[in-house]
Amino acid sequence: MGGAIQAPKDTLGQLLLALHVSGGQASRAELTDRLGCGRSVMGYLLGELADRSLVRIDRTGGKPEGGRPSHQVAIPSEAPTVVAAQIQPDGFTVGTVGLGGKVLSRSTLPLRNPQPSEALDELCELMTSHVGPNVLGFGVAVPSPVRADGYAPAALHLGWPGLHLQELFEEHLTLPVAIANDANLAALAEHRHGAGRGSRQLLYLTTGNVGLGGGVVSEGRLFLGAHGYAIEPGHITVDPGGAPCPCGSTGCLEVEADHRALLRLLGIELPLREVAAKVESLMADPADDVLEAVHRVNTRLAIGLGSLANIVDADRIVLGGTLGKLYSLEPEIVRRKLAERAFLADLAHVPITPGERADSVLLGAAELAFQPLLDDPRAFAPG
């Protein structure tokens, strides 16, 4: 007895993910090749997604593929969106993000009240203002490790105590909310939409105004460890006699290779809100003293990368934010010093590249909110 074709849920999700990481548009032939399936199966899968208003198929055809025009597939304007939020030491960024990694709107809010309850009230109000008719839920990037149940134990640069953020957000928001570490989410965004595309084992490090974080994306998924705390590269010791770290240790990578480390070597002290602009201006046309400071920071960075390369066995390293700019000034030196610390030659020659997405954290928070849809598109019922 025959039955209806029922492609596995993960196959339908793989197709939607393939279109998503292609920027929201691809030819049917490209998607068929990506999934390694037949034309009839691809036709069925696309039909399922179209029935849910998740794709639009242009049957007039694009460039010929194999002798016949290939239909163009795109994410339609009525497809679902999510609201992404990034918590930073000096404020919040909130955006509406569509499938394909497109940031559709963006708002910022300074951190006016250091008390977490009042600050989160303001953040949730801003997040709610971004909710439209097609919004699936919220993703929030936090500068802290985040446990699987949404507990954030150490937002060191905010001065917040351990907080059950999942519960706090759910008290304010009516749609599903997911929370994760900001650097982990930036790693996921670079893997799907940036310099990490195509890597099987991606090691990602980044720095902003303050601190340094990172993550590992293994076979397309974030590696989080047993409790969600895995991969905290900022707290690898690279100089035992170095600067004190908020974690209680000394000489951690995050205090030896972030914005403040560079300014400290130059004898510059600034309010946090002015740090990024100052570093940007210094590196645009670096004087000799700046280059010397860059060299010292890059040396610490290479020590940290050497240790991480020995642990992770990455096939690509992506350096986001200022780390990518620091590396670009001295790529040979960073590679040489990394090689001195890698215990195998293969580990010493892993490709290193600067990140491509300035909005990686916000985009990663959106990926978090989209993940249930990407895992099981059949569970989505259009408005």
Residues 325 and 259 sit within 8 Å (Cβ to Cβ): no
The class (CATH top level) of 9-74 is mainly alpha
- Which has more pLDDT, 353 or 114? 353
Q: Quote the pLDDT of residue 9.
A: 61
pLDDT band at 2 (very low <50, low <70, confident <90, very high): very low
Specify which residues 95 forms β-bridges with: 84, 106
Half-sphere exposure of 5 (CA within 13 A, CB side): 12
CA angle 88, 196, 307 (to 5 degrees): 75
The share of the chain scoring above pLDDT 70, in percent, equals 95
Average pLDDT, the chain: 91
User: Residue 160: pLDDT above 70?
Assistant: yes
Give pTM, 2 decimals. 0.92
- Which has more pLDDT, 327 or 65? 327
Residues 351 and 190 sit within 8 Å (Cβ to Cβ): no
Dist. CA 271–CA 234, nearest whole Å: 22
Q: What is the mean pLDDT of residues 252-272?
A: 93
pLDDT band at 227 (very low <50, low <70, confident <90, very high): confident
User: Residue 253: pLDDT above 80?
Assistant: yes
- Which has more pLDDT, 273 or 79? 79
Residues 232 and 223 sit within 8 Å (Cβ to Cβ): no
Domain ranges of the chain: 9-74, 81-185+361-377, 197-356
Q: Mind giving me the DSSP string for 285-347?
A: S--HHHHHHHHHHHHHHHHHHHHHHHHH--SEEEEEHHHHHHHHHSHHHHHHHHHHH-SSHHH
Q: What is the mean pLDDT of residues 184-204?
A: 97
Dist. CA 14–CA 20, nearest whole Å: 10
Q: Quote the pLDDT of residue 13.
A: 94
Q: Quote the pLDDT of residue 218.
A: 94
Fold of 197-356: Nucleotidyltransferase; domain 5 (3.30.420)
- The per-residue pLDDT for range 309-327, each reduced to its tens digit, is 999 999 999 999 999 999 9
User: Residue 279: pLDDT above 80?
Assistant: yes
Domain 197-356 in the same topology as domain 81-185+361-377: yes
- The per-residue pLDDT for range 297-311, each reduced to its tens digit, is 999 999 999 999 999
Q: Quote the pLDDT of residue 64.
A: 53
Q: Quote the pLDDT of residue 63.
A: 57
The 3-state DSSP composition of the chain as helix, strand, coil percent (nearest 5) reads 45, 20, 35
Please enumerate in sequence order all residues whose Cβ is within 8 A of that of 114, keeping only pairs 6 or more positions apart, or say none: 158, 159
- Closest to 119 (Cα-Cα) out of 176, 175, 174, 159: 159
User: Residue 113: pLDDT above 90?
Assistant: no
Q: What is the mean pLDDT of residues 271-293?
A: 91
pLDDT band at 205 (very low <50, low <70, confident <90, very high): very high
Please enumerate in sequence order all residues whose Cβ is within 8 A of that of 115, keeping only pairs 6 or more positions apart, or say none: none
Q: Mind giving me the DSSP string for 168-221?
A: HHHHH-SS-EEEEEHHHHHHHHHHHHSTTTT-SEEEEEEE-SS-EEEEEEETTE
User: Residue 6: pLDDT above 50?
Assistant: no
Both structure tokens of 278: 């100052």
CATH superfamily ID and name for 81-185+361-377? ATPase, nucleotide binding domain (3.30.420.40)
Q: What is the mean pLDDT of residues 85-109?
A: 95
Q: Quote the pLDDT of residue 61.
A: 59
CB-based contacts of 337-343 (< 8 A; 24+ apart in sequence): 337/298, 337/299, 337/302, 337/303, 337/306, 338/302, 338/305, 338/306, 338/309, 339/306, 340/306, 341/302, 341/303, 341/305, 341/306, 341/307, 341/309, 341/310, 342/306, 342/309, 342/310, 343/310
Scanning the structure block, which residue is given the tokens 């590396």?
Answer: 327
